[in-house]
Each structure stands twice: as structure tokens, then as C-alpha cells.
């Protein structure tokens, strides 16, 4: 595992050189700008959305972009013919995703404090951010397997959001009845939203416990059965190394 450090460092270096940090930062500024217009209860509703979007959507974008570049430039092959194992390589992506989300937490929290003077329950936010980011890094990697280009990754992402968010929207609108809506908690965006929402509103303990356990198991299952077995095939596919 001694190679994780150079992998993670290298990844950060590249996020910087490939201007992905800059892109991320612009989005964060946009969020802070929006937050400026909210007050009181509204702000309380809005802040979790920032963290949710960052740890789900931004996480998928960043890991997708980094895989896309490595595939396009074949550097993935160059890494795989070094002593780096597939596990080390994939873990480094997860670690980078988590660190990025935590950087966002620090940046947004500081900005909100200075602009709005508000402090939230970060004790509940940080573990939520970590688990949500881990799951979504996995989802991002898995979506990349199917993407022929970066734009098709975006399309995959839209489909993912659409499929998983739609039931939640239906439930809110009352199209799905309340009894059935209870089970929506098993959808990753829904449970992610509940866990992150805990920073600003009260959430029942069982939901938190269920959420953390469920997302941990889901991460493991995704990794073990959907990501690892297909990874070699993904490396070798298309362009023909």
C-alpha cells in the first residue's frame, strides 16, 4: 500500500494541471454566491443541497474526468504495467474523491461562516460526506465503464440521476403514495440526502444507522461485484492499447 501516497499525490497534481480543480472551484463559488441570497430557514434547507451536489455529482464528474483522460492518453496502461495493483489504483481514486469532498466542506463552511455567520453540525456532516462520496466514486467508476466519451459519461450520469431521483420527486408530488415512499430510502440519492441533511435538521436515529450501514454495504458490493471484476476489461477495451 506504500504506492497509495504517490498515486494520490499524482492525482491531485493532475486535477490541478488539467484544470479540474479550477472547474470545481468555480462551481463552489457559484454555490456560495447563491447561498448569499438565502436567510434563516431557507438557508438551512439550501446548505445541505450544496454538500449533496458536491459529494454526489461533483464526485462522479471528477472521477469520470480523471478516468476519461487516463483512458484517452493510455496512461492507465502505463500505471497498470507498474507494480501498482488494481486495488491500489481504485482506492487512490476513492481517497482523492473523499479528500476533495472534505476540501469542499472546509471551503463552504468557512465561506458560510464569514458571509452568513452560520455554523452547522459538522460532526454529523463529515461522516455523511465521506460515505456518500465513497459510494458515488464507485458509481462514477462504474458509469465510466460504459462511457465511450466524456459526453456519454455525462449522459450516463443524467440517466442515473433521472432514474433514482424521479421516484423521490413523485413521492414529493404525491404521485407515489406515502406508504411506498418509505422504501425510497434505499435509493442512493435519497439516503445520501437524508444523511447530509442531518447537519441542519433532526433525523431519526434509525435512519442514520440504516443509512450508514446500507451505504457501507452498498460500497462494498459495488466494488466487489461491479467494479473489480470488470476493471481489467475496461483497461483493455476500445482504442486497443
Pick 9 or 148: Cβ nearer ligand ATP: 148
CA 48 to chain centre: 14
Pick 40 or 240: Cβ nearer ligand ATP: 240
Q: CB of 68: closest distance to ligand ATP in angstroms?
A: 17
Q: CB of 23: closest distance to another protein in angstroms?
A: 14
Q: Is 85 in the site for another protein (CB under 8 A)?
A: yes
Distances (CA, A) of 163 to 157, 168, 176, 190: 10, 10, 15, 12
For cell 497509495, what's the residue?
4
Of 75, 149, 172, 213, the residue at the interface with another protein (CB under 8 A) is: 75
SS3 category, 149: coil
CA 63 to chain centre: 9
Q: Are 138 and 222 in contact (CB under 8 A)?
A: yes
All three cell numbers of 48, joined, read: 445541505
Q: Is 82 in the site for another protein (CB under 8 A)?
A: yes
Q: Is 79 in the site for another protein (CB under 8 A)?
A: yes
d(CA 8, CA 215): 23
Q: Is 213 in the site for another protein (CB under 8 A)?
A: no
All three cell numbers of 186, joined, read: 434505499
Residue ranges in 15-74 that form contacts with another protein under rule CB under 8 A: 17-18, 69, 73-74
Contacted entry of another protein, ligand ATP, none for residue 1, CB cut-off 5 to 8 Å set by kind: none
Contacted entry of ligand ATP, another protein, none for residue 17, CB cut-off 5 to 8 Å set by kind: another protein
Residues within the interface to ligand ATP (CB under 6 A): 236, 240
Distances (CA, A) of 185 to 93, 168, 182, 194, 202: 27, 9, 6, 8, 16
Pick 84 or 126: Cβ nearer another protein: 84
Size of the site for another protein (CB under 8 A): 27
- Which residues, at least 6 apart from 102, have a Cβ–Cβ distance to it below 8 Å? 126, 129, 130
Q: CB of 147: closest distance to ligand ATP in angstroms?
A: 16
d(CA 77, CA 6): 17
Chain residues in the site for another protein (CB under 8 A): 3, 6-7, 10, 13-14, 17-18, 69, 73-75, 77-85, 232-233, 235-236, 240-241
Amino acid at each position: 500500500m506504500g504506492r497509495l501516497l504517490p498515486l494520490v499525490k499524482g492525482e491531485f497534481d493532475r486535477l490541478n494541471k488539467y484544470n479540474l480543480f479550477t472547474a470545481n472551484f468555480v462551481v463552489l463559488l457559484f454555490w456560495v454566491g447563491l447561498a448569499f441570497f438565502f436567510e434563516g430557514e431557507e438557508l438551512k434547507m439550501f446548505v445541505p443541497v450544496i454538500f449533496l451536489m458536491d459529494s454526489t455529482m461533483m464526485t462522479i464528474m471528477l472521477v469520470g474526468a480523471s478516468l476519461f483522460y487516463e483512458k484517452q492518453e493510455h496512461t492507465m496502461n502505463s500505471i497498470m504495467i507498474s507494480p501498482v495493483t488494481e486495488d491500489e489504483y481504485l482506492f487512490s481514486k476513492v481517497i482523492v474523491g473523499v479528500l476533495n469532498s472534505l476540501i469542499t466542506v472546509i471551503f463552504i463552511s468557512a465561506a458560510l461562516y464569514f458571509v452568513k455567520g452560520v455554523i452547522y453540525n459538522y460532526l454529523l456532516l463529515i461522516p455523511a460526506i465521506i460515505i456518500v462520496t465513497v459510494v458515488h466514486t464507485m458509481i462514477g467508476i462504474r458509469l465510466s465503464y460504459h462511457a465511450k466519451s466524456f459526453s456519454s459519461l455525462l449522459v450516463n450520469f443524467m440517466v442515473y440521476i433521472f432514474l433514482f431521483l424521479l421516484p423521490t420527486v413523485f413521492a414529493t408530488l404525491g404521485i407515489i403514495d406515502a406508504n411506498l415512499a418509505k422504501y425510497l430510502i434505499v435509493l442512493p440519492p435519497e439516503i445520501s440526502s437524508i444523511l447530509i441533511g442531518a447537519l441542519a435538521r433532526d433525523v431519526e436515529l434509525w435512519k442514520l444507522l440504516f443509512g450508514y450501514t446500507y451505504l457501507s454495504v452498498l460500497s462494498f458490493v459495488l466494488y466487489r461485484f461491479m467494479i473489480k471484476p470488470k476493471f481489467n476489461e475496461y483497461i483493455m477495451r476500445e482504442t486497443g492499447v
